[in-house]
Amino acid sequence: MANDNKLQAIIGHCKEYGFIFQSSEIYDGLSAVYDYGQMGAELKRNIREYWWKSMTQMQDNIVGIDAAIFMHPTVWKASGHVDNFSDPMIDNKDSQKRYRVDHLIEAYAETLEADKGAALIHTMEQLLEANDFAGLKTLIEDNKIKCTVSGTCNWTDIRQFNLMFSTEMGSVADEANTVYLRPETAQGIFVNFLNVQKSGRMKIPFGIAQTGKAFRNEIVARGFIFRMREFEQMEMQFFVRPGTQKEWYEHWKKTRMEWHLKLGIPAERYRFHDHVKLAHYADMACDIEYDFPMGFKEVEGVHSRTDFDLKQHQQYSGKKLTYFDTEINQHYVPYVIETSIGLDRAVMMVLSEAYEEQDLSTAEKQDSRAVLKLPAMLAPIKLAVLPLTKKDGMPELAKDLIEQCKPHFRCFYEEKDSIGKRYRRMDALGTPFCVTIDQQTKEDGTVTIRYRDSMQQERIALNDVKRIVMEKIAMF
């Protein structure tokens, strides 16, 4: 399937089966804001859970917190977001449409032959690194890059545009009451560094993890849930002794890639991309990119943030944020390695990898199915229990099995439609196991279990169903 079609097919599938809806759809939607439906909310929760357990429970020295979205406005001054969290933008004078400069050039580069496109991106990256806006505008004009709406090259100068949303706290709307919707969850960790270190008696190296909403007024929001204005991040800040950051940076690059591979996604669908233009806080940084239907794009960042954030907060708050290292008898401001993954992007990655349209036609009949080959541990529904008919005590047996299993994992009961149709629907929802209760069940206590990916069926003991499913959905 062509990539563009695949993205459209996934978007359609997500809506049809209750995974993801456009926000406020009955009012024609709100751009780049999405709601998770009954299936999507479960999938998202399972990915969050897999991340949380991997990054806290399975680590000896990482704890999790849940900081508020609103923070003191000075946090964002100290972090550099008020002054630096902006993207270079350009407007087309004829259509009034605004573009992020890098997106405009990247989209054009994709239409060129591979080597020409790569050369253009390379030039763009150098100009971005040098903050050479005049040079970037010349690059756009020399390449005759056109606005997709007006079709003209009539461009304004390039300007910076801050991406933070602001609102007022309390009843008086003045500067002093302005608060921001956090653009990253990381700052909630930095300002709590000492609280956690002292109350948890943490010894360096240690990490603090959290998941939560972040907000960015993205100008060019596109690619379904890839770039949203309200999204969720899963971030971990790992505090280390200055001078050891290179070693920990490599450690976290490797560890995070292992996390991705454990999702069953083949290694060739990922690549690392080292940053040429480093953020104002970083001395090393890379993206983990996944091959989305739109091509390789960032799903996660691993950043060596130096002591930038803690030092800034120390300066702006006037409070000491140092750590006493008893091994070397020294006070210092720790260095930080950050891992930061977008939860919505992870959902999109998992859906992109899982979605398949299969032609199952035989000489006798045409057939096909849409299937979500989700990792069993992430599937919204783990087990569907299907009585073959509505009589002969089959529904009762099915419901008994669900009662046994539901404290442990999510089950689904369905007695409507032919068994074939019910299997297809479960395939589309990504349910890894279906169990059918039939006449034989009453006679010998066995059921048919059907596996989503292979569509193979086998006869197993009713009493073994719970154990088998639990083994297959275990995260660790």
Cα 259 off chain centre by? 13
Using an 8 Å Cβ cutoff, are 48 and 345 in contact? no
Binders of ligand GAP: how many residues, by CB under 6 A?
A: 19
Q: Give the interface segment with ligand GAP, choosing from 225-233, 239-247, 376-384, 455-463 (CB under 6 A).
A: 225-233
Q: Does 298 bind ligand GAP (CB under 6 A)?
A: yes
Among 341, 347, 377, 398, binds ligand GAP (CB under 6 A): 341
Shortest Å, Cβ 72 to ligand GAP? 18
Cα-trace Rg, the chain: 26
Q: Does 233 bind ligand GAP (CB under 6 A)?
A: yes
Shortest Å, Cβ 348 to ligand GAP? 9
Sign of CA dihedral 339, 343, 344, 348: positive
Of residues 402-421, those binding ligand GAP (CB under 6 A) = none
Q: How far is CA 152 from CA 99, 108, 296, in A?
A: 14, 14, 29
Shortest Å, Cβ 272 to ligand GAP? 13
Q: Give the interface segment with ligand GAP, choosing from 53-61, 105-113, 296-304, 366-374 (CB under 6 A).
A: 296-304
Of 429, 217, 260, the C-alpha closest to 346 is 260
Of 256, 366, 334, the C-alpha closest to 301 is 256
Shortest Å, Cβ 251 to ligand GAP? 18
Shortest Å, Cβ 419 to ligand GAP? 40
- Give the number of other CB atoms < 10 A from CB of residue 125: 15
Among 92, 340, 352, 441, binds ligand GAP (CB under 6 A): 340
Q: Does 235 bind ligand GAP (CB under 6 A)?
A: yes
Q: Does 448 bind ligand GAP (CB under 6 A)?
A: no
Q: What are the phi and psi torsion angles at 9 (to 5°)?
A: -65, -40
Q: Does 186 bind ligand GAP (CB under 6 A)?
A: yes
Among 10, 67, 104, 299, binds ligand GAP (CB under 6 A): 299
Among 87, 184, 307, 309, binds ligand GAP (CB under 6 A): 184
Q: Quickly tell me which residue has 């069953």 as its tokens.
A: 264
3-state SS class at 221: coil
**Based on CB atoms, which residue is closest to ligand GAP, 345 or 450?**
345
- Give the residue nearest to ligand GAP (CB): 342
Q: Does 300 bind ligand GAP (CB under 6 A)?
A: yes
> For residues 86, 92, 129 and 286, what is the CA-based torsion angle, rounded to 10 degrees?
70
Query: Which strands form 284-292's sheet, in the order they lie side by side?
Result: 62-64, 206-215, 230-240, 335-342, 295-306, 284-292, 270-274
Distance CA 433, CA 393 (A): 22
Q: What is the largest CA-CA distance in the chain?
A: 81
Q: Does 228 bind ligand GAP (CB under 6 A)?
A: yes
Q: Which two tokens stand for residue 76?
A: 């964002």
Among 102, 344, 353, 438, binds ligand GAP (CB under 6 A): 344
* Interface ranges with ligand GAP (CB under 6 A): 184, 186, 216, 218, 227-228, 231, 233, 235, 298-301, 338, 340-342, 344-345
